[in-house]
Amino acid sequence: MKVKNICCIGAGYVGGPTMAIIAQKSPEITVTVVDINEQRIAAWNNPDVEHIPIYEPGLSEVVAEARGRNLFFSTDVDAAIDAADMIFISVNTPTKTYGMGKGMAADLKYIELCARQIARVATTDKIVVEKSTLPVRTAEALKNILDNTGNGVNFQILSNPEFLAEGTAVSDLHKPDRVLIGGDLDTEAGREAIQALVGVYAHWVTEDNILTTNVWSSELSKLTANAFLAQRVSSINALSELCEVTGADIQEVSKAIGMDSRIGPKFLQASVGFGGSCFQKDILNLVYIAKSFGLHEVADYWEQVIIMNDHQKRRFAAKLVKTLYNTVSGKRIAMLGWAFKKDTNDTRESASIYVADYLLNEQATVVVYDPKVTQEQILADLDYLGTRSEAENRALIHVVNSAEEACDQAHAVALMTEWDVFKTLDWNSIYAHMLKPAFLFDGRRLLDRKVLEEIGFDFYAIGS
Ligand code: UDX
Ligand code: UDX
């Protein structure tokens, strides 16, 4: 079977870029991305491609090439479902904030709503592809809903987890290490559905890099890949604290161990803590699943990755307060960077949110600059934590338009996101406009200690 019409529910960080590349690489397939959020769809349709809702290097060019040709963005979910022979579900699956599994399990209400909507609308056979990261065995629940509430048409469920990282989504999608497709390998219809999706990716990915497995392996592999990556970051961050008390340097240690080809150099960069929409959520999910099967040692093992990450964020903020003579009350602290990593405007679970919250609790005045994150988003992130009233957040935090403005008359600067532009700031001039002694806390090991100390900064870098 050759896929001719694809619908993707969810025009977010995963659905948007993934569908844009599928459309770019497969001109004969019509790809429609739908979302219930009208504003988001309007932004995807903005005639000026520089204003699409997601910032990713190279994405606007891909959208410019395919949009209106075979790539469409719409809020008419029913029509897109009806027309499609393959439907990707790419809605968000946040950690539950209520009831059983609160704070740990994935909230699947949006997934279930999608399944019910597909079942209600579909009048022809459909292949339904899980793109969202889901707990193991979700496909089974999806199939139950589809088969029992549908109009008697056949549904095949595939799991096709996304491994793109934000900030490099376009190149990750163009050259994936692997594409993983889980499906029902035991039936002819299942194998056909898998091959249909293989056929889509085969437009630009060699078949050797397309792995097919059973559904459960595919679902679990996604959680596991993120857990392993996050574990490396927590491992190196754990050692960064040890470096600070022993005189070792975490960058030297990272390099030394990373050159062991069995370990490898990636994901060994010490930081103020990992963020992003996936690592924490997926590990909590893994922990919850392990616990629900009574595997307590397995659960505790993985939970430690999160405990370490929370510790790292708290430790960085506490270090700042301690260094500023144990009080930051009324002091101006500049935070450079709010996104959870460079080259994205995504702020979900960013360490900046937690560090800012800590400093605000200590009554600091926090001034933030990020090249791609809006003031609205920064305030929304803080309000979401619910630590203090919206009015208090607005009184204590200021968002400005340049790094220089943020640092002007500040007691200290905290470098939070590794944006390239922060490397080439005029640190001499920034120093001249700060209160003395001027403190600089590098949470990303982005800056050169020697240069900054020569300027006069009282300099702290994580892990040294
Ligand atoms: C994705 C995955 O789906 C998630 O499981 C993974 O772990 C992280 O990445 P992402 O694309 O980043 O999520 O989420 P988001 O940017 O929030 O986009 C989801 C979109 O789905 C939103 O635009 C939302 O409006 C839309 N949505 C949600 C629907 O259209 N219908 C719904 O019922 C729910
Ligand atoms: C991750 C996975 O990499 C991707 O495969 C999956 O599809 C989604 O989750 P993402 O969250 O976009 O991608 O970014 P990633 O590059 O993995 O970084 C996650 C966090 O870890 C960031 O806050 C980053 O700054 C931090 N990190 C990463 C470190 O602190 N040190 C490192 O060495 C690497």
Give the distance (Å) from ligand 1 centre to CA of residue 126.
21
Mutate to test the pocket of ligand 1, among 91, 218, 278 (most ligand atoms within 8 A of CB): 91
Share of the chain above pLDDT 90, in %: 93
Q: Is the pLDDT of residue 138 over 90?
A: no
Which residue from 139, 18, 13, 150 is spatially nearest to 81, judged by alpha carbons?
150
Instruction: Respond yes or no: is residue 244 known to be catalytic.
Output: no
Distance from the CA of 433 to the center of ligand 1, in angstroms?
Answer: 43
Between CA 29 and CA 23 the distance in angstroms is: 7
pLDDT over threshold 90, residue 156: yes
Query: In angstroms, rounded to a whole number, what is the distance separating the alpha carbons of residues 26 and 17?
Result: 14
The least confident of 128-142, 149-163, 428-442 is 128-142
Question: What's the DSSP call for residue 50?
Answer: G
DSSP 44-86: HT-SSGGGSSS--TTHHHHHHHHBTTTEEEES-HHHHHHH-SE
The pocket around ligand 2, CB under 6 angstroms, is made up of: 162-166, 226, 229, 233, 267-269, 271, 274-276, 278-279, 340-341
Among 56, 130, 162, 219, which one carries the catalytic annotation?
Answer: 162
Confidence tier at 327 by pLDDT (50, 70, 90): very high
Using alpha carbons, select from 362, 397, 373 the residue that is nearest to residue 383. Answer: 397
Residue 207 binned pLDDT confidence (cut-offs 50, 70, 90): very high
Give the mutation target among 90, 92, 221, 284 for probing the ligand 1 site: most ligand atoms within 8 A of CB: 92
Per the DSSP assignment, residues forming a β-bridge with 317 are: none
How many other C-beta atoms lie within 10 A of the C-beta of residue 140?
11
Q: Is 135 in the pocket of ligand 1 (CB under 6 A)?
A: no
Q: How confident is the model at residue 332 (pLDDT cuts 50, 70, 90)?
A: very high
Which amino acid residue places its CA nearest to atom 3 of ligand 2? 165
Using pLDDT thresholds of 50, 70 and 90, give the confidence band for residue 296. Answer: very high
Q: What is the mean pLDDT of residues 5-10?
A: 98
| Ligand 1 atom closest to residue 90's alpha carbon, by position in its atom list | 3
C-alpha 1 to ligand 1 mean position (Å): 28
> Which helix H or strand E contains 335, and what residues bound it?
strand 332-336
Hey, which of 166, 177, 305, 418 would you mutate to test ligand 2's pocket, going by the most ligand atoms within 8 Å of its Cβ?
A: 166
What's residue 1's pLDDT?
84
Predicted confidence (pLDDT) at residue 141 exceeds the cutoff of 90:
no
* Minimum-distance ligand 2 atom for the alpha carbon of 417: 25
Q: Contact, 228 vs 263, CB < 8 A? A: no
pLDDT of residue 12: 95
**Closest atom of ligand 2 relative to the 166 alpha carbon:** 12
Closest Cα to atom 28, ligand 2: which residue? 267
CA-nearest of 80, 68, 83 to 23 is 68
The pLDDT of residue 357: 98
Is 278 an annotated catalytic residue?
yes
pLDDT tens profile 233-290: 999 999 999 999 999 999 999 999 999 999 999 999 999 999 999 999 999 999 999 9
Identify which ligand lies nearest to the alpha carbon of 347: 2
CB 131 within 8 A of CB 201: no
Radius of gyration of the CA atoms of the chain, in A: 24
- What tens digit of pLDDT does each residue of 58-117 get? 999 999 999 999 999 999 999 999 999 999 999 998 889 999 989 888 899 999 999 999
Among the bound ligands, name the one nearest to the CA of residue 133. Answer: 1
Query: What does 153-215 look like in DSSP terms, one character per residue?
Result: --EEEEE------TTSHHHHHHS-S-EEEEE-TTSHHHHHHHHHHHHHHTTTS-GGGEEEEEH
Amino acid at site 222: K
Give the up-direction half-sphere exposure of residue 445: CA atoms within 13 A in the CB hemisphere. Answer: 17
Ligand 1 atom closest to the CA of 133, numbered from 1: 5
For residue 150, the model assigns a pLDDT of 82
> Nearest bound ligand to CA 166?
2
Question: Which numbered atom of ligand 2 lies nearest the CA of 350?
Answer: 23
Q: How close are the terminal C-alpha atoms of the chain, in Å?
A: 57
Active-site hit among 25, 222, 313, 331: 222
pLDDT for the residue numbered 28: 97
Strand partners, 368: 335, 399
Task: Provide the residue count of the chain.
Answer: 464
Of 68, 12, 19, the closest CA to residue 35 belongs to 12
Query: For 380-423, what is each residue's pLDDT tens digit?
Result: 999 999 999 999 999 999 999 999 999 999 999 999 999 999 99
- Share of residues in the chain with pLDDT > 70 (%): 100
Q: Residues 355-368: pLDDT tens digits? A: 999 999 999 999 99
Least confident of 49-58, 130-139, 303-312, 408-417: 130-139
- Using the mean position of ligand 2's atoms as its centre, give its distance from the Cα of residue 89 in Å: 22
**What's the Cα-to-Cα distance from 66 to each of 10, 22, 63, 275, 329, rounded to whole Å?**
18, 10, 5, 31, 52
Q: Is the pLDDT of residue 155 over 90?
A: yes
Span 169-182, pLDDT tens digits:
999 999 999 999 99
Task: Verify whether residue 255 is a known catalytic residue.
Answer: no
Conformation bin of residue 319: beta by default, left when phi > 0, alpha when psi is -120 to 50:
alpha
- Closest atom of ligand 2 to CA, residue 278: 9
Instruction: Please pick, among 114, 278, 341, 407, the residue that the annotation labels catalytic.
Output: 278
| Residue among 417, 270, 272 nearest 337 (CA) | 417
Helix (H, G, I), strand (E, B) or coil at 87: strand
**Bridge partner list, 9:** 34, 89
